Amino acid sequence: MHNESVQALAGALAQGTVSSVELTELFLARIAAEKDLNAFISVDPEVSLAQARAADRIRAAGRATPLTGIPIAHKDIFVTREFRSTAGSRMLENYRSPFDATVVEKLGLGPQGAGMVTLGKANCDEFAMGSSNENSFFGPVKNPWDRRAISGGTSGGSAALVAARLAPAATGTDTGGSIRQPAAMCGVTGIKPTYGRVSRWGMIAFASSLDQAGVLARSAADCALVLNFMAGFDPRDSTSIERVAEDYSRELALPLAGLRIGLPKEYYGEGVSPDVASAVEAALREYEKAGAKLVDIELPRTELSIPAYYVIAPAEASSNLSRFDGVRYGHRTAEYGDLLEMYERTRAEGFGWEVKRRILVGAYVLSHGYYDAYYLKAQRIRRLIAEDFQTAFRDCDVIATPVAPSVAWDIGEKVDDPVANYLADIFTLSVSLAGLPGLSLPCGFGRQGRPVGLQLIGNYFGEARLLGAAHQFQQASDWHMRAPTDLHGA
Ligand code: GLN
């Protein structure tokens, strides 16, 4: 049962061959057996089982949606009433939110919700800053394919738990690659929709102009199913886009014949390790065999996405994180003389090194005298990067690239080198800066049997096309069906 897709589980629940309580018990047992992965920050079997019983009652009353009773895990960046919400930080170690994030509400058991059962809160980098999930106050997440390896960041817990069959799907957030990169490194499928598609209300903010929620599951078809319930206009989020609801599954059956796939030459150069390059190239051949047309395109400003992103994101973070001052939320230092000392000690104790680094960089680039030189310039580059994509989309329908330059590296290998971590984001940042949708799907294995991902980038609101292009590939291949071999548990 734990290997089944969201779609198959929905069928089993509808037919009554399994109950939500049974499914929830099964996955909770697997989570307990896989504690070593450190994929979860919080689990509470009593809460999850109570939700499962409620889901079974809703189904018995004839009010079920297709997803009612299916277990899911939420990245611990979404606030929840029934579990603590930590954002991977000591600052919020024991924080309880008085409300649920919109995403949690839409997928959950409320009157308008999909009826899914929350299995727990997934581990993540502190305030979603990182590329390896080693910045979590709760420790790194191990990669189920090779426990010496990172899971990728920052939705590393979400990716690892889906790969290890601890839940059929999980939510994630992506500011510069945090859904796509861990999905690639853990061999699962993940989609970051167009900026504004999914509500940010109740998502603990990192960089508000970039943050976007999405979903990780084992297949594109499953991602589409969950996204159908997650996405949509939310008046509580001022950047939420008001568009009519759409069915993200509607292009799954569309054949690949005639699809124009753009290959940006900047993404296929020396920076890509040979094992990643050969898996990606083999996947492209498969697309070609199915009738897609590969066209050469250019995204000349790709290299600038790293400096631009690492100015803009810290700038926004320095502002967003000013609310954690020991007064309103979370941690407060035990001993202090005056108010200023209370702020200083609270923030010194509550934040980890990467978060402090971002706050310092952000405050610097926003300060008088540097604003024009750094922040404004970065915003201009951001605009140019977005324009490059629009030029490219004149010649192609989707763009295909590697997700990351290498497979997962070893835990500890790059912890002392923040810039090495930043460079690993080279293929995902520009999509976020432009606000475009991006999807990562498994396309093979590289060095030491570690998974490789293929990134598909679409134009604004092109999620259905991306999911369709991924689904057609998954119909013809079985990379997404492979499971790590040394899993413990049932
Ligand atoms: N690796 C990037 C960063 O550290 C992106 C993280 C994310 O998408 N949340 O900021």
Q: List, for residues 387-397, the tens digit of each pLDDT value.
A: 999 999 999 99
Predicted TM-score (pTM) of the model is 0.98
Strand partners, 441: 454
Tokens 């400003």 correspond to: 301
Specify whether the CB–CB gap between 234 and 240 falls below 8 A.
yes
Ligand 1 closest atom vs CA 309: 10
* Residue 150 reports pLDDT greater than 70: yes
**Domains of the chain, each with CATH number or no CATH:** 6-258 (3.90.1300.10)
- Residues 170 and 104: their CA atoms lie apart, in Å, by 11
Q: List, for residues 271-284, the tens digit of each pLDDT value.
A: 899 999 999 999 99
Element (H, E) at 445: strand 438-445
Q: Mutation test of ligand 1: which of 178, 358, 427 has the most ligand atoms closer than 8 Å to its C-beta?
A: 178
- How many residues does this entry show for the chain? 490
Q: List, for residues 315-363, the tens digit of each pLDDT value.
A: 999 999 999 999 988 999 999 999 999 999 999 999 999 999 999 999 9
The percent of residues in the chain predicted with pLDDT above 90, rounded, is 95
CA of 419 to the centre of ligand 1 (A): 12
- Residues 314 and 426: their CA atoms lie apart, in Å, by 17
- Residues 424 and 181: their CA atoms lie apart, in Å, by 9
CA dihedral 5, 10, 16, 22 (to 10 degrees): 60
CA of 246 to the centre of ligand 1 (A): 28
Q: List, for residues 62-80, the tens digit of each pLDDT value.
A: 999 999 999 999 999 999 9
3-state secondary structure of 74: strand
Angle, vertex CA 196, rays to CA 314 and CA 454, nearest 5:
80
Orientation of helix 353-366 relative to helix 305-320, angle to 10°: 100
Q: List, for residues 378-388, the tens digit of each pLDDT value.
A: 999 999 999 99
The distance from CA 358 to its chain's CA centroid, rounded to whole angstroms, is 20
Other beta carbons within 10 Å of 2: 18
Residues 119-137 have a mean pLDDT of 98
The two three-digit tokens of residue 260, written as one number: 């124009």
58: left (phi over 0), alpha (psi -120 to 50) or beta: alpha
Nearest CA to 142 out of 38, 217, 31 is that of: 38
Amino acid at the residue 208: S
Element (H, E) at 353: helix 353-366
Ligand 1 closest atom vs CA 131: 1
Q: Look up residue 410 and give its DSSP letter.
A: B
Provide DSSP, 257-326: TT-EEEEEGGGSSTTS-HHHHHHHHHHHHHHHHTT-EEEEE--TTGGGHHHHHHHHHHHHHHHHGGG-SS
Ligand 1 closest atom vs CA 174: 8
